Amino acid sequence: MAEMTSSMIVPVIDVQNNNFKELWPAMLLAIKTSSFIALDTELSGLGTRKALLSESIEDRYKAICHAARTRSILSLGIACYKKQENKADDTYLVQVYNLTLLCTEEYIIEPQSVQFLVQHGFDFNKQYAQGIPYYKGNDKGGDVHGQNMRTLFVELLRARKPLVVHNGLIDMVFLYQCFYAHLPERLGTFTADLSEMFPAGVFDTKYATEYELRFAASYLEYAYKKCKLDNYKFVEAGGSGPHLFLEFCNYTGHLRDYIDYRPCSEETSQEGPLDICLRFSAYGWCPSGSSCPMSHNTDLIIQQDEKTKENKRRKRKQKRKKAAQEAGAEEGDSTISSKRPYLEEQATMDNQGGSVTETTSVPGAELMKQPRGEGETMTDIHMSSDGGNDGNGFCEPQSVPADGATESHLTTGTTVAQPKKAEGGTHRAGFDAFMTGYIFSFACIVKCSISETLLPECQNKLYLSGKSIPLQVVKSSFSKSSKAHIHKMEFVWGKS
């Protein structure tokens, strides 16, 4: 198995109220020129988990709507991926923004969410001091014409780009309520509205990971690192097959003060427990958090899964060979059985010390905005360039292999200074959006999408936790668009 020995550094632009207008032109340009846009949110809470996992999808939608009306988005991550047509292989220019937000209306913030966010570096002092203000529901007066979150969301719609999310039903409901209009009462109306808001399609990488890539697990960090490893194998193997490469802008001048350079290297240290936490391995979440005595090292989990996969492959090969010999060298009819969902496979492991006994044993595990791994580093790195720029602080992008960059790639044209003081690590939504976009880019390569629609097998399909079929984002003959949406779309397309 190829080792995950490469790494790359992802620049995430921290956007808050004191630089929102300054960065506005750059954000709009990134959105309008992108090939697709990936989003992620951090929320103040979700309410009753049992209702969010209701057997009835309509009841589940109503529970999410209640959460969106009473809770808020605390930060929004936007990752703009632009396909570079004149570059070899599949090369994308990536720009990542992390917007710290502050709802101006009363909202509920749950202690559990506060604890989780603080543990993972969210700075509430910074949010209340510099959060970009917004209000929820329908538009009020002339606010839709200013430089604010509602206008930014309108520009996102006007760009008509494919929208990519991970386990994104909750994200879509919150985005609608917080930046667009009052949520419709019925799920069918909501999906009808979404289908018109995003004509290029909505894509859910959790659905793609489970039903197209068929990974052993599908939580965000696992899927991202598995894609990164597989891409590394493709590059190492050579050949004419497509490989994923990324480019990032080289920011200069005072813009460097807004950048959080996120190393996304693997965990090479073998310190700590080597026994894998089965619950975290399956869900990417464990109620014990950092106090769990078992390992939450995602790289270790992937390595173990790769080893298990290889062992199963060898056993199948040996079994087929033996069957062929016993049948007089006739071709056996044994075939590789269809892969069982990973969580079902974990149900057989409780006698080995695991605590996962069935898919529903951890209520809300797929719904919470939980850590995508306990070992993510929050180190900030200052980087500068001697390259020229056009006066706006942006220099020519630099190419980085998407499995990670070697040391030479990281230092070419750059100077690495001492790490700057940590800013509290509020860039998680931005980096999660980057990982979401990476998974989508890699999935497009693996599935060899050659149509104008990226990954058509996954278009307008949102993952539903505990369900075997996705939520279709379509306008059916039995549902109509909401009045608020119709009025809003007239404004979006300049009809009013």
Q: 335: which residues sit within 8 A by CB, 6+ positions away?
A: none
How far, in Å, CA of 472 to CA of 34, rounded? 25
Nearest to 219 by CA among 154, 279, 136: 279
Looking at the DSSP assignment, which residues form a beta bridge with residue 39?
78
| 258 and 313 inside one domain | no
Q: How confident is the model at residue 334 (pLDDT cuts 50, 70, 90)?
A: very low
Of 111-115, 149-153, 307-311, minimum mean pLDDT range? 307-311
Same domain, 349 and 396: no
Question: How far from 327 is each of 84, 314, 323, 330, 332, CA to CA, in Å?
Answer: 54, 20, 6, 5, 8
Among 331, 361, 391, the domain-final residue is: 361
Element (H, E) at 42: strand 36-43
**What pLDDT was estimated at residue 375?**
35
Letter for the amino acid at 347? A
- What are the structure tokens assigned to 9, written together? 């550094």
Helix (H) or strand (E) holding 496: none
Question: At 410, which amino acid appears?
Answer: L
CATH of the domain at 390: 3.30.420.10
Q: Is the dihedral of CA 199, 100, 267, 91 positive or negative?
A: positive
- Residue 388: pLDDT band (50, 70, 90) is very low
Residue 276, strand partner residues:
295
pLDDT at 447: 81
Residues 260 and 286 placed together within one structural domain of the fold? no
Number of domains the chain is built from: 2
> Which pair of structure tokens corresponds to residue 277?
């936490």
* 369 is a domain residue: no
Residue 405 forms part of a structural domain: yes
The three-state secondary structure class of 91 is: strand
Q: Which residues contact 480 (CB under 8 A, 6 or more apart)?
A: 189, 192
In the structure, what pLDDT confidence band is assigned to residue 361 with cuts at 50, 70 and 90?
A: very low
Helix (H, G, I), strand (E, B) or coil at 359: helix
Q: Is the pLDDT of residue 350 over 70?
A: no
Which residue's entry shows tokens 């307008």?
Answer: 460
330 and 252 housed in the same domain: no
Higher pLDDT, 43 or 445: 43
pLDDT at 450: 54
Establish if 273 belongs to a structural domain: no
Q: 3-7, 348-352, 392-396 — which one is most confidently predicted on average?
A: 392-396
Among 313, 333, 361, residue at a domain's last position:
361
Look at the chain and count its residues: 496
Same domain, 388 and 243: yes
- How far apart are alpha carbons 107 and 155 in whole angstroms? 26
Gap between the Cα atoms of 183 and 187, Å rounded:
9
Domain boundary among 330, 361, 392: 361
Of 432, 422, 370, 425, residue with least CA distance to 121: 425
pLDDT tens digit sequence for 249-285? 999 899 999 999 888 765 545 555 578 787 777 777 6
Report how far residue 259's alpha carbon sits from residue 345's, in angstroms, rounded to the nearest whole number. 42
pLDDT winner (highest mean) among 124-138, 311-325, 401-415:
124-138
Mean pLDDT throughout 29-57? Answer: 95
d(CA 74, CA 70): 13
Identify the burial level of 353 via C-beta atoms within 10 angstroms of its C-beta, where 0-12 means exposed, 13-18 middle and 19 or more buried: exposed
Give the pLDDT of residue 424. Answer: 39
Query: Which tokens hold the place of 288?
Result: 């014990």
Residue 32 lies in a domain: yes
Residues 419, 283 share a domain: no
Q: Pick from 270, 275, 268, 267: which is nearest to 293 by CA?
A: 275
Distance CA 270, CA 10 (A): 24
44 with 104, same domain?
yes
H-helix or E-strand spanning residue 282: helix 278-283
Q: Which pLDDT score is estimated for 99?
A: 97
Asked whether residue 306 is domain-assigned, the answer is: yes
* Cα distance between residue 447 and residue 455, in whole Å: 7
Q: What is the pLDDT of residue 278?
A: 78
Q: What is the mean pLDDT of the chain?
A: 78
Lowest average pLDDT, out of 31-40, 116-125, 310-319, goes to: 310-319
pLDDT category at 239 given cuts 50, 70, 90 is low
Domain coverage including residue 120: 9-265+377-492
Asked if 185 and 38 sit in the same domain, the reply is yes
Asked if residue 86 is part of any domain, the answer here is: yes
Same domain, 334 and 245: no
Residue 372 domain flag: no
Maximum mean pLDDT: which of 9-23, 250-264, 408-422: 9-23
Tokens of 491: 């404004």
pLDDT band at 141 (very low <50, low <70, confident <90, very high): confident
Percent residues over pLDDT 70 in the chain? 74
Please tell me the predicted confidence (pLDDT) of residue 335: 38
Same domain, 312 and 417: no
Instruction: Tell whether 147 and 17 lie within a shared domain.
Output: yes
Q: What is the pLDDT confidence band of residue 326, given thresholds at 50, 70 and 90?
A: confident
For 429, what's the count of Cα atoms within 13 Å in the CB-facing half-sphere? 23
Alpha helix (H) residue ranges in 159-246: 169-179, 187-197, 205-208, 220-237
Contacts of residue 442, Cβ cutoff 8 Å, sequence gap at least 6: 227, 230, 231, 244, 402
- Top-confidence residue, 382 or 185: 185
- Beta strands 461-462 and 394-401: pairing type? unpaired
Asked if the model's pLDDT at residue 296 lies above 90, the reply is no
Q: Do 301 and 408 belong to one domain?
A: no
Report the Cα–Cα distance between both ends of the chain, in Å, rounded. Answer: 59
Angle between helices 57-70 and 169-179 (to 10 degrees): 40
Mean pLDDT, to the nearest integer, of 155-160?
A: 96
Asked if the structure places residue 366 within a domain, the reply is: no
What 3-state DSSP class applies to 289? helix
Query: pLDDT, tens digit, for every residue of 418-474?
Result: 334 334 333 489 999 999 999 999 999 888 755 566 788 999 999 999 999 999 999
Picking from 65-69, 137-141, 178-182, 418-422, which range would have the lowest pLDDT averaged per residue? Answer: 418-422
CA–CA distance, 318 with 315 (Å, rounded to integer): 5
In 3D, which of 461, 442, 477, 470 has the Cα closest to residue 215?
Answer: 442
Q: Which residues contact 329 (CB under 8 A, 6 or more apart)?
A: none
Q: List Cβ neighbours of 310 (8 Å cut-off, separation of 6 or more).
A: 1
Q: What is the pLDDT of residues 60-110, one digit of tens each?
A: 999 999 999 999 999 999 999 999 988 877 899 999 999 999 999 999 999
Distance CA 18, CA 214 (A): 43
Q: What is the pLDDT of residue 418?
A: 37
